[in-house]
Amino acid sequence: MKTAVKPARVETVSAPPLAIRILWRGDEIWRLDLTWAENVGPTDARSDAGRELARCLADYVAGRNPHWPDLPLTFSNTAPFHRRCWEELAKIPYGQTLTYAELAERAGSAQAARAVGQAMAKNPFPLVYPCHRVLASGGGLGGYGPGLEMKKWLLALESGKITPLTPVRSSALQEA
């Protein structure tokens, strides 16, 4: 039976409607948990990386490309193909999307669309590695760890179909 690994410390950055829990092990970030701000407390960024991430998240929810900072992320125990997928993922411009198949090709394995889906599902750094920008070949949303409602909101925000102030459960989002 696997036991859950506990982070050494946790910081929270919040820019409603989004929040990120930063999970640290030593001096490295091993996970960024993206969630709705209503599910967490206020920002308690104590590190330089946390404060920088808070600034970028505020830019992001304001509808601006945040230019995510160079964070001390750890990639230990990451499969090489997953790492290549995430590196290619980081190159998808703000407001644009790719399909799983297109990302597989960019990562060097054109027939590995399903493996790309697995890499997206294991992405520990959403937004920084924007897996919400990857769609199914038929134009469907595919999956998203933080939930399809969030994926839809992120894509609508980046495409300009909603404003940063559009409520998460708005009918405008359903039409986006």
List pLDDT tens digits, range 48-78.
Answer: 999 999 999 999 999 999 999 999 999 988 8
d(CA 5, CA 138): 37
Q: Give the distance, in angstroms, between the CA of residue 44 and the centroid of all CA atoms in the same chain.
A: 20
Per-residue confidence (pLDDT) for residue 166, from 0 to 100 = 66
Residue 161 pLDDT level (bands cut at 50, 70, 90): confident
> What confidence tens digit (pLDDT) does each residue in 13-23 have?
999 999 999 99
The catalytic residues are 131
Per-residue confidence (pLDDT) for residue 96, from 0 to 100 = 95
**pTM (two decimals):** 0.87
The distance between the two most distant Cα atoms of the chain, rounded to a whole number of Å, is: 46
Per-residue confidence (pLDDT) for residue 2, from 0 to 100 = 52
End-to-end CA, the chain: 43
d(CA 128, CA 113): 21
